């Protein structure tokens, strides 16, 4: 086609006209995302869509089972669940928000500040029964709370526990009771390594991802550190316990106790390595207890035990890794969404699936049925869940976390000293707090 083949309109002219028209059309609208119509309560019946994650906590099969039971109890509501990897969950919620694609979304404990302040999820304080505030465990209750408002209902109450291979411990002559402190863990790891039982006794989820910050947080807490100053206006991780935690992590790598492949591992990789007998001890979420004891997917089934997280110089807090179910701001059927959430988070459903994820309700921990499906998890959980440490509850948490992930890795890979890496992270994070 020649440049003037179309009735005298040149190619350049068309292109310029097109872009001009597009810019004009764009300028005529509000800036920001599309979909100006907001959500609504709806009739409380009909179809709703829900977004869940694929790993840790309740499995996809669990959730489909719960949803099938819900369909029987509430035949007028149909639920269509969708599952994505945790790593894609946040961004999918954001991208789907203006279109109102999902009525119910699962959110992590680190997002209520961001999602709540931007109205991506709705404020459910008014619907939140007073009894829940006393009946739920303290660590769970705050999961979806931001500035004294509730933006969702806690559903997955989780923290990282210390799992160990009882056979390796036995062969190396290590008493499991000595794993109550991080010093004890290092001593045990050295013994196991020297006995030639495994090359690297420890495996962690230290890939450049949120998983790294979860491990780091738990250690930061153990060494008495803090993420932010008390007024939330400046960072506090670059000194004291925050720095000690990073130095400790680096030392376990230098001493050959931590598997260097931790730097490319997420929780699932930790589970696989541990289940293959490639590590003696590892921090992970509740779900690993069952998965690593399942002969179908683990070579060390029956040789896995769990303990509360070890103590550092300042205590043994577990990282708060809880998650909550929320009604989205864009949902056109918020009443039905709330019905579904109330059902899934109820004590009966949570008790039934306690094997995958421990309930958020205090009284469940004395329920014989719960105790019988998770006899080893419950005692560890009872102790650790009473003492949780949170990652910073600030709207721009994700950015701070990304900066910290890269800098912590810089220190772990020996590209910067821990002091320099954390100082650089603090410097970059400064403007995100004001």
Q: Which residues bind other proteins (CB under 8 A)?
A: 6-7, 18-19, 21-27, 29-36, 87, 90-91, 94-95, 97-98, 114, 118-120, 207-209, 260-265, 269, 272-273, 276, 278, 329, 396, 398-399, 402, 405-407, 409-410, 413, 415
Per the structure block, which two tokens stand in for 366?
């004395």
Q: Give the residue from 91, 111, 108 showing the smallest Cα distance to 393.
A: 111
Cβ distance to other proteins smaller for residue 91 or 175:
91
Cβ distance to other proteins smaller for residue 210 or 244:
210
| Minimum CB distance to other proteins, residue 64 (Å) | 24
Please answer whether residues 265 and 204 qualify as being in contact, where contact means their C-beta atoms are separated by less than 8 angstroms: yes
| Minimum CB distance to other proteins, residue 280 (Å) | 15
Cβ distance to other proteins smaller for residue 32 or 196:
32
Cβ distance to other proteins smaller for residue 226 or 420:
420
| Minimum CB distance to other proteins, residue 123 (Å) | 15
Q: Which residues contact 313 (CB under 8 A, 6 or more apart)?
A: 222, 223, 224, 241, 244
Q: Which residues contact 304 (CB under 8 A, 6 or more apart)?
A: 163, 164, 165, 166, 274, 289, 292, 293, 298
Please answer whether residues 78 and 48 qualify as being in contact, where contact means their C-beta atoms are separated by less than 8 angstroms: yes
| Minimum CB distance to other proteins, residue 95 (Å) | 6
- Long-range contact set of residues 236-242: C-beta below 8 Å, sequence gap at least 24: 237/404, 237/422, 237/425, 237/426, 238/419, 238/422, 238/423, 238/425, 238/426, 239/422, 241/312, 241/313, 241/314, 242/422
Q: Which residues contact 36 (CB under 8 A, 6 or more apart)?
A: 30
Cβ distance to other proteins smaller for residue 116 or 242:
116
| Minimum CB distance to other proteins, residue 22 (Å) | 3
Cβ distance to other proteins smaller for residue 174 or 426:
426
Cβ distance to other proteins smaller for residue 170 or 260:
260
Please answer whether residues 415 and 251 qualify as being in contact, where contact means their C-beta atoms are separated by less than 8 angstroms: no
| Minimum CB distance to other proteins, residue 87 (Å) | 7
| Minimum CB distance to other proteins, residue 314 (Å) | 28
Q: Three-state SS for 235?
A: strand
Q: Which residues contact 93 (CB under 8 A, 6 or more apart)?
A: 51, 102, 105, 107, 115, 120, 328
| Minimum CB distance to other proteins, residue 114 (Å) | 7
Cβ distance to other proteins smaller for residue 47 or 118:
118
Please answer whether residues 55 and 357 qualify as being in contact, where contact means their C-beta atoms are separated by less than 8 angstroms: no
């Amino acid at each position: 086609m020649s440049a003037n083949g179309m009735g005298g309109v040149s190619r350049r002219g068309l292109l310029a006209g097109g872009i001009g028209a597009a810019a004009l059309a764009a300028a005529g609208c509000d800036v920001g995302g599309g979909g100006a119509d907001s959500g609504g309560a709806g009739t409380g019946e009909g179809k709703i869509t829900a977004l869940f994650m694929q790993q840790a906590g309740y499995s996809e099969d669990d959730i489909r089972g719960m949803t099938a039971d819900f369909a029987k109890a509430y035949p007028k509501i149909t639920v269509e669940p969708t599952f994505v990897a945790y790593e894609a969950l946040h961004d999918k919620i954001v991208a789907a928000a203006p279109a109102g694609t999902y009525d119910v979304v699962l959110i992590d404990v680190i997002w209520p500040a961001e999602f709540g302040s931007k109205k991506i999820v709705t404020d459910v304080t008014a619907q939140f029964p007073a009894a829940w505030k006393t009946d739920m465990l303290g660590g769970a209750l705050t999961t979806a709370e931001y500035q004294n408002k509730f933006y969702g209902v806690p559903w997955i109450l989780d923290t990282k526990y210390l799992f160990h291979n009882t056979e390796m411990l036995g062969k190396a002559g290590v008493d499991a009771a000595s794993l109550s402190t991080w010093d004890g863990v290092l001593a045990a790891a050295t013994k196991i390594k020297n006995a030639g039982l495994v090359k690297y006794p420890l495996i962690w989820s230290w890939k450049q991802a949120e998983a790294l910050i979860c491990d780091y947080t738990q250690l930061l807490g153990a060494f008495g550190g803090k993420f932010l100053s008390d007024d939330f206006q400046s960072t506090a991780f670059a000194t004291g316990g925050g720095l000690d935690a990073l130095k400790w992590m680096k030392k376990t790598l230098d001493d050959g106790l931590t598997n260097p492949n931790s730097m490319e591992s997420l929780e699932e990789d930790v589970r696989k390595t541990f289940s293959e007998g490639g590590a003696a001890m590892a921090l992970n979420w509740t779900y690993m207890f069952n998965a690593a004891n399942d002969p179908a997917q683990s070579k060390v089934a029956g040789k896995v035990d769990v303990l509360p997280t070890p103590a550092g110089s300042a205590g043994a807090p577990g990282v708060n890794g809880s998650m909550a179910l929320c009604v989205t701001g864009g949902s056109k059927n918020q009443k039905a969404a709330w019905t579904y959430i109330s059902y899934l988070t109820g004590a009966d459903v949570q008790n039934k699936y306690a094997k995958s994820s421990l309930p958020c309700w205090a009284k469940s921990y004395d329920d014989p049925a719960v105790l019988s499906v998770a006899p080893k998890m419950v005692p560890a959980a009872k102790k650790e869940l009473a003492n949780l440490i949170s990652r910073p509850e600030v709207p721009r948490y994700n950015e701070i976390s990304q900066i910290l992930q890269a800098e912590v890795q810089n220190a772990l890979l020996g590209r910067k000293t821990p002091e320099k890496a954390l100082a650089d992270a603090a410097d970059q994070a400064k403007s995100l707090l004001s």
